Structure 1
Amino acid sequence: MIHGLYRIASHLLGPVLSVYLNRRMARGKEDPLRFSERMGVAGMARPPGRLVWLHAASVGESLSLLPLVDCLLARDLRVLMTTGTVTSAKLMAERLPASAIHQFVPVDRPAWVRRFLDHWRPDLVLWSESDFWPNILAQVKTRGVPLILVQGRISAKSLAGWQKARGFIATILGHFDLCLGQTPDDAERLRQLGGRDCRCLGNLKQSVPPLPCETAELDSLRCVVGERPLWLAASTHAGEERIVARVHAHLVQRFPALLTVMVPRHPHRGVEVQNELKAMGMTCHLRSAGEVPADGIYVADTMGELGLFYRLAPIVFMGKSLSVEGGQNPFEPARLGAAVLFGPRMSNFPDMVPSMLESGAGEMVVDEGDLVRAVAALLADPALLARRRAAAQAWSEAEAGALDAVMQALSPWLESLDARP
C-alpha cells in the first residue's frame, strides 16, 4: 500500500519536484548545463553493445565502484555510472575511465525514470549502498533486468527505522537478485528486512587503488616543507577545525617548527575555516588562494588532492570522528603508509576500526587532549612512527581482496551477458 501511495505521490508532485530542483540549482547543488538529466533526458547516445549500469549516491560510493568499472570494461562491456551530486560528477569526470559514461541519476518520478530506462536500456544494474529509490528499482525489475546490490549498507539506526515500514522495505529489497553487504552486520540486517541471498564478501572501498596525486606537486611541497614536523587533519567538519587549531597551539610549544595541514571535508568552507582560525589568533594559509605552507596551519581547501596530502603527511587524523558522528574512510591514508588516528565516533566503519586497532594500523583518540598526546608521541619517536606506518601499510594490503570475491559472485550474470551476440 505504501508503495502504491509513493508511486502516485511522486507522479502527481511533478511540478513540486521541478520547483525543488530549481531551488537546488540556485544553491549550486544541481548542474545547470546538465539539469535535464535529472528528468531522465539523456546527455548522449547509448553506445552499442551490452551495457551495465552502476549507481552510487555521491563521492565515497562512486569511488568504491571504480574497481568494478575497470573489471567490467575489461570484459568488453559498456559502463554507465550515475550519481546524484555535483561534487561526485566533477570527481567522476576526473577519475572515471574515458570509455565509461557518467550521467546524473533521474529523480524518482515514474515518467522521468521511464524516459531514462527507455534510452539507456541496461542489461545489468549494480546498485550501491542504501540509496533506495522505489520507482527506479521497481521499473528496472519490471523490465526483467537483473538487479544486484553491492556495498549494501544498513546501519543499526536505519534498521530500527525500516522496521516501522517492513512491508515497504521488503518490497524494495525483494527487487534485488543478490544483496552484497559491506560487513557481516550489513548482510544480516538486509536479510532481516527481506533481502534475498544476502552475503558479505568484503568492502570494495578496500579494493580501491591508492588515491592519485600530481608527482610534481608532491615534490614541490616536499621541498617547501623540508624537514619540518608535519601532521594532517583530513576531511574535517564544522567544530573539528577549532579542535585541530587548539591541538596545534599545544604541539607548537614542544615542536616550534610544526606545520599542521587541514583539509576540510567540504572545500567551499575554506575561507570560513580560515576566518575562524584567524579569529582564534592562529596563523593560517589558504591553498585555494595560491598560498604555500609556511608557519602555522595550512588549509588545503581544494578538490581531489587528498592523495597528495596523504603522501606528504606521515601522521593523519581522520575527521568527522570527534565532534561529528560517522567518521571518514581511514583505509585511504593507511593504504599510503600513514600512521592513522581517529576519534571515537566512527560508526560508518564498524568492522574496519576494530581490525585496524587490533593490527596496530590505527589508534583511537577519545578527545582533544588525547589527540595532543598521540600526535606528540609520534612526532617525538621516529621509531614508533615508522612501526605504525608499516603496520598501516601491511594491514591495508591484506584487506584489499574484496574485488575478486565480488566479481566471482557476479559471474553468473556476467557470463550470461558474455554469451549474448
Structure 2
Amino acid sequence: MSIIFYHLFLLLYKLGIRLIAPWNRKAKLWLEGRQGLFDRIRAEMATAADKSGPVVWMHCSSLGEFEQGRPVLEELRRQAPGCRIVLSFFSPSGYTTRKDYKGADHIFYLPLDSPGNARAFIDLVKPDLVLWVKYDYWYYFLVELKKRNIPLLLISGIFREDQPFFKWYGRLHRYMLECFTHLFVQTEASKQLLQRLRLTTPVTVSGDTRFDRVIEIAAGGEREPLSLIAAFCGQQQVIVAGSTWEEDEEELDHYANTHPDIRFIVAPHEISEARLQEVERLFRHSMRYSVLEKQGAGVLARPPAAGRGAWPQPNVLIIDNIGMLSRLYRYATITYVGGGFGDDGVHNVLEAAVYGKPVVFGPVIEKYIEAVELTESGGGLIIDSALEAEKVFNRLLQNPQECQETGLASSQYVHSKKGATGRIIRYIQENRLLTN
C-alpha cells in the first residue's frame, strides 16, 4: 500500500463513519467521542504537568485488547507507582466500557491518524514509553514515535501469512513494524514469519498476556460474588454461553427450549435492543438480567403459571450489560464461546477455560491459536450443528467424570501458558525504559 492509498483509506473511513452515524450507534459514539478531544487532552495533561514520574501510554483498539494489555499496565504501576498512565482506545466499545478504569490516570480516544493529529497528541501526552497492544497499526502515530526515539513495544502481537505485511503491496505495513523498538509476539510461528521480512526490529516470543489476565481473574482478583447469578443457577446444571451471535444462538435455542431443568446464561456479543429482542424470540423461556436486578431474587421463587403445559420459571437468563462475562463462566457446568459460526471466528476461549470447565465452540477457529491448542489439549470441543451441540451437552452432563476431566484439561492448558507479562516487564526493567 502506498501513502496515497493510505490517505484515501483514511478519507473514506472518515466519510463512511459520518454517513452511517445517524443509524449506527457505534459510529455515532466514535464521532461524538472525538469532538473537542484535543481541548480535553490539553486540559487534563495540564493539570498533571507538575508530576515528575515517567508517562506510560498504552494504546488498545478495543476492549479485548485492553484486557490483553492490562496485566502489563498494572504490573508497571506496581513496579513504578509514580508513573502516570495514559490509556487510549480507537473503538467506542473499549472506551465506553473502560472510561472510568481506575488503573489509568488519563483515558482518551485516539484521534484519527494524520500527521497533524499524531504530532499534536504526542506533544500533549509526552510519553516516555509506549505500549501498543496486539495490532491497530496507524502509520503517522508510529512514524512520529520513531522520529522522537520514544521506546515503542508491541505486546502480544500475532501474525499470519494472509496479512498485508507479507504481501507484495505491504511495504507501508512493513515500515510500520520497523517503527517499533521491540516486538513481543505470541507464537514461534509469528516470529518465523517476521524473520522472513528481515526486519531490524528485534522479535521475542513472549506468549500471550491474556493467559496472565484470566488467571488473575479466576484466582480472585475480581472474586466479588454475583448473588443474583448464583440464585438463578440454584443447584441445577448450568450452560454459560458467552459472546454469542445469532448464528450461535440458533444452534443452542432448541436444547434450551426443550430442557427446562438446565439453566442457560446467554451473554450476547452485542446488546442493542434489537439484538436482545432476537435472543428473546429464540429462547422462549427467558428473562433479562436487568429485570432480575430490578425485581430481585424473589422473582425466581414465584410459583409457575398454572394450566396445561405450563412451563416452570425461566431457564434462560439473558445478560444485557457489558463487563460481567469473565466472572459468569465460574458458575458454569459447561461453557460455550460464540463467534465460531461466523466469518471472524471464535471469541476469547481463555476466559472460560481458566475456570476448569469444558469449552464448546463452533468450527471457525483457524485464526485463533489458543482455540486450536485448547482443542488439541482435550479441553475444547468443536460443534458444527445444533444436533452436534445436543450430543456434546448430553454426553458431558450425563457423564460427570468426563466433564471433570475435560475441564481439568482446559485449566491445565491455560496455566501452562502463563508468564508473558513477566517477560515483558523484565525487558522494560533491564533496558531502563521507565526512566524519564
- Asked whether the 8 Å contact 2:340–2:364 carries over to 1, the reply is yes
For structure 2, which runs of at least 5 residues remain unmatched after alignment?
A: 294-298, 301-312
- Asked whether the 8 Å contact 1:51–1:78 carries over to 2, the reply is yes
Q: What is the deviation of 1:199?
A: 2.3
For the pair 1:417 / 2:434, whether they are aligned, the reply is yes
For the pair 1:248 / 2:253, whether they are aligned, the reply is no
Q: What is the deviation of 1:240?
A: 1.7
**Post-superposition CA distance 1:144-166 (Å, at most 9, x none):** 2122212212233215x751323
Tell me which amino acid in the other structure corresponds to 1:81: L
Secondary structure of the corresponding residue to residue 301 of structure 1:
coil
Distance change (3 Å), C-alpha of 1:193 and 1:268: farther
Tell me which amino acid in the other structure corresponds to 1:210: I
- Asked whether the 8 Å contact 1:127–1:150 carries over to 2, the reply is yes
RMSD between aligned residues: 2.9
For 2:109, the equivalent position in structure 1 comes to: 104
- Asked whether the 8 Å contact 2:253–2:283 carries over to 1, the reply is no
For structure 1, which runs of at least 5 residues remain unmatched after alignment?
A: none
Q: What is the deviation of 1:114?
A: 1.3
Tell me which amino acid in the other structure corresponds to 1:36: G
For 1:405, the equivalent position in structure 2 comes to: 423
For 1:309, the equivalent position in structure 2 comes to: 328
For the pair 1:133 / 2:138, whether they are aligned, the reply is yes
Distance change (3 Å), C-alpha of 1:307 and 1:174: closer
- Asked whether the 8 Å contact 1:177–1:197 carries over to 2, the reply is yes
Between 77-86 and 402-411, report the one with greater CA deviation.
402-411
**Post-superposition CA distance 1:83-126 (Å, at most 9, x none):** 112221133235451x5321111110211211111111111211
For 1:215, the equivalent position in structure 2 comes to: 224
Distance change (3 Å), C-alpha of 1:233 and 1:224: closer
Compute the TM-score of the two structures, normalised by the length of structure 2.
0.83
Could you tell me how far apart the structure 2 residues matched to 1:115 and 1:100 are?
Answer: 19
Identity of aligned residues (%): 20
**Post-superposition CA distance 1:154-203 (Å, at most 9, x none):** 233215x7513232222111111211112222222333345421221100
For residue 190 of structure 2, the aligned residue among 168, 186, 191 is: 186
Tell me which amino acid in the other structure corresponds to 1:376: N
For 1:224, the equivalent position in structure 2 comes to: 232
Tell me which amino acid in the other structure corresponds to 2:340: S
Tell me which amino acid in the other structure corresponds to 1:340: V
For 1:86, the equivalent position in structure 2 comes to: 92
Question: Equivalent residues in 2 for 1:252-331 (5 A)?
Answer: 252=259, 256-268=260-272, 271-275=274-278, 277-278=280-281, 282-290=284-292, 294-331=313-350
**Post-superposition CA distance 1:216-269 (Å, at most 9, x none):** 5x233223321222211110113221221123245x2xxx41222211111225
Distance change (3 Å), C-alpha of 1:237 and 1:7: closer
For 2:305, the equivalent position in structure 1 comes to: none
Distance change (3 Å), C-alpha of 1:214 and 1:405: closer
Of the two structures, which has the highest relative contact order with CA contacts closer than 8 Å and spacing of 6 or more?
Answer: 2
Question: Equivalent residues in 2 for 1:141-156 (5 A)?
Answer: 141-156=146-161
**Post-superposition CA distance 1:337-358 (Å, at most 9, x none):** 32211222113422x2343233
Could you tell me how far apart the structure 1 residues matched to 2:182 and 2:114 are?
Answer: 25
Could you tell me how far apart the structure 2 residues matched to 1:275 and 1:136 are?
Answer: 40
**Post-superposition CA distance 1:357-395 (Å, at most 9, x none):** 333322222332221111111111222222222332233
- Asked whether the 8 Å contact 1:274–1:284 carries over to 2, the reply is no
**Post-superposition CA distance 1:284-341 (Å, at most 9, x none):** 2222344777434322121101033212212101100124432111111111232211
Question: Equivalent residues in 2 for 1:326-341 (5 A)?
Answer: 326-341=345-360
Tell me which amino acid in the other structure corresponds to 1:334: A
Secondary structure of the corresponding residue to residue 267 of structure 2:
strand
Q: How many residues align?
A: 404
For the pair 1:364 / 2:382, whether they are aligned, the reply is yes
- Asked whether the 8 Å contact 1:287–1:299 carries over to 2, the reply is yes
Could you tell me how far apart the structure 2 residues matched to 1:39 and 1:173 are?
Answer: 31
For 1:45, the equivalent position in structure 2 comes to: 45
Could you tell me how far apart the structure 1 residues matched to 2:148 and 2:7 are?
Answer: 20
Distance change (3 Å), C-alpha of 1:128 and 1:371: same
Could you tell me how far apart the structure 2 residues matched to 1:173 and 1:72 are?
Answer: 24
Secondary structure of the corresponding residue to residue 255 of structure 2:
helix
Between 19-28 and 73-82, report the one with greater CA deviation.
19-28
Q: What is the deviation of 1:56?
A: 0.9
For 1:61, the equivalent position in structure 2 comes to: 65
